[in-house]
Amino acid sequence: MEYIKTEQLDHLLKITIDRPSALNALNIDVLKELYEVISSIDIKTIRCVILTGAGEKAFVAGADIASMKEMNKTQAEEFSLLGNNVFNKIETLPIPVIAAVNGYALGGGCELALACDIRIASENAIFSQPEVGLGIMPGFGGSFRLPRLIGEGLAKEMLFTGDRVNAARAFAIGLVNAVYPKEEFLDKAIEMGAKICKNSPIGIKATKQVINEARNLEVSGKINAEARYFAGCFETEDQREAMSAMLEKRAAKGFVGR
């Protein structure tokens, strides 16, 4: 791997996009490496992922404009589909993914953060979807993930103006879950990831699946899907041990994922 670095911390996997000379911009090679890493995660061992960018200046400053400038229509469509396939892989990964956002998260970088389940921001984080200023539109899922997260009106404002949103504003509109000083944000993301890792992997997997499924269902379908995944958590070692421990007022032995 040239552009993607990984570090395993017990059941937590930290993935770093490491192309600081280009502010971690996404080109075809970076996207392919990221897809390969995400696809190779052993979800029997890894229970949560932290995704971040190298350096203090940028999480991901966007798609690589230099590589996009001369694309024809066919090449642009292929590039969009590649990025969307990678981001969809992240969004549908059975385990939670936390984006630890430092510095610029512009265009494709903002879209990458949107594909994650939770976003923890450094106080110097800057978000934007500036594509309309380049004569294009978001190509990696921003047109549907941003409205879903912060509401249609606020999303259209960001998408139509291309304005930059600082960390405080991002928190106020629900774009990020929390903001911390730049010296602390990554540790705070890892701390949250470690907390997630202590909970039932079966329960978390089922919860994430039903949330993702429910987006496309009517209310009755959402209820049925939730009931189905809820039921799937029962008759497992984890469920029996955790509930027995609570009733017996003792510490649970820990979740084993079975």
Domains and CATH numbers, the chain: 4-197 (3.90.226.10), 201-247 (1.10.12)
Q: Scan for tokens 């190298």, then name that residue.
A: 54
**Pairwise CA distance, residues 202 & 234, whole Å:** 10
**Pairwise CA distance, residues 181 & 16, whole Å:** 19
Residue 131 catalytic?
Answer: yes
**Pairwise CA distance, residues 11 & 13, whole Å:** 7
Is 44 in a helix, a strand, or coil? coil
Tell me if 164 sits within 8 A of 128, measured CB to CB. yes
Split at pLDDT 50, 70, 90, the class of 172 is very high
Of 36, 78, 131, 191, the active-site residue reads: 131
Q: Count Cβ atoms below 10 Å from residue 169 Cβ, excluding itself.
A: 15
Q: What is the average pLDDT across 198-220?
A: 89
Comparison of pLDDT for 151 and 230, the residue scoring more: 151
**Pairwise CA distance, residues 197 & 48, whole Å:** 6
Residue 157 catalytic?
Answer: no
pLDDT digits over 84-141, tens only?
A: 999 999 999 999 999 999 999 999 999 999 999 999 999 999 999 999 888 888 989 9
Tell me what pLDDT residue 35 has. 97
Q: What is the average pLDDT across 201-222?
A: 86
Q: What is the average pLDDT across 200-219?
A: 89
Tell me what pLDDT residue 221 has. 75
Tell me if 120 sits within 8 A of 178, measured CB to CB. yes
Q: Scan for tokens 């229509």, then name that residue.
A: 73
Q: What is the average pLDDT across 151-178?
A: 97
Q: Count Cβ atoms below 10 Å from residue 168 Cβ, excluding itself.
A: 12
Q: pTM value?
A: 0.90
Tell me what pLDDT residue 241 has. 86
Residue partners of 10: CB distance under 8 A and separation at least 6: 194, 197
Of 2, 36, 111, 123, the active-site residue reads: 111
Tell me what pLDDT residue 219 has. 66
Q: What is the average pLDDT across 44-54?
A: 97
> In this model, does residue 223 exceed pLDDT 70?
no
pLDDT digits over 70-88, tens only?
A: 888 888 899 998 999 999 9
Torsion sign, CA atoms 96, 64, 134, 172 = positive
**Pairwise CA distance, residues 171 & 159, whole Å:** 18
Dihedral angle of Cα 37, 38, 42, 45, to the nearest 10 degrees? 100
> In this model, does residue 42 exceed pLDDT 70?
yes
DSSP state letter for 200: -
Tell me what pLDDT residue 177 has. 98
Split at pLDDT 50, 70, 90, the class of 226 is low
